[in-house]
Amino acid sequence: MAKTFIIDLSFFLNEEGDLAADSGPGEEFVEFLTAIVAMVTYPALEPPPDYKVRCQYLDNDGNQCPGLIAGELMPENDIIAWHCPVCYDKGLISNWQDTLWDLSDADIQH
């Protein structure tokens, strides 16, 4: 069954703007979310392969979903919407602006 995640990214950051989670599954999930932010805010129509994000869903046997996350910035509210076209997990990420993973103003050579 697909899951929906509504995430305020600032909740997972410390005062310096780094990840507040130390290790384990929580840190892996936050790293997944920050990778989505970097992918969606990458300053090109198509991010390079290194910025593509693999779905993190695990089935009952521990097999990882083979899907690649699709995401977009919703301009009416600056929320990032993402989904997996294979397992249908999806979510919304708010308060990602001006984090270490926000590449929207980055000067990246294409």
What is the sign of the dihedral through the CA atoms of 42, 29, 9 and 92?
positive
Provide mean pLDDT across the span 28-39. 94
Total structural domains in the chain?
A: 1
Q: Is residue 108 part of a domain?
A: no
Does residue 110 carry a pLDDT above 70?
no
Q: Does 62 map to a domain? A: yes
In a domain, 104, yes or no: no
Tell whether 46 is covered by a domain.
Answer: yes
Question: Is position 100 within any domain?
Answer: no
Nearest to 34 by CA among 77, 83, 80: 80
User: Distance between CA atoms of 105 and 43, rounded to whole angstroms?
Assistant: 7
At 61, is the pLDDT very low, low, confident or very high (cuts 50, 70, 90)?
A: very high
Looking at residue 12, its pLDDT comes to 87
58 is in which domain, residue-wise? Answer: 4-12+24-94
pLDDT surpassing 70 at residue 65: yes
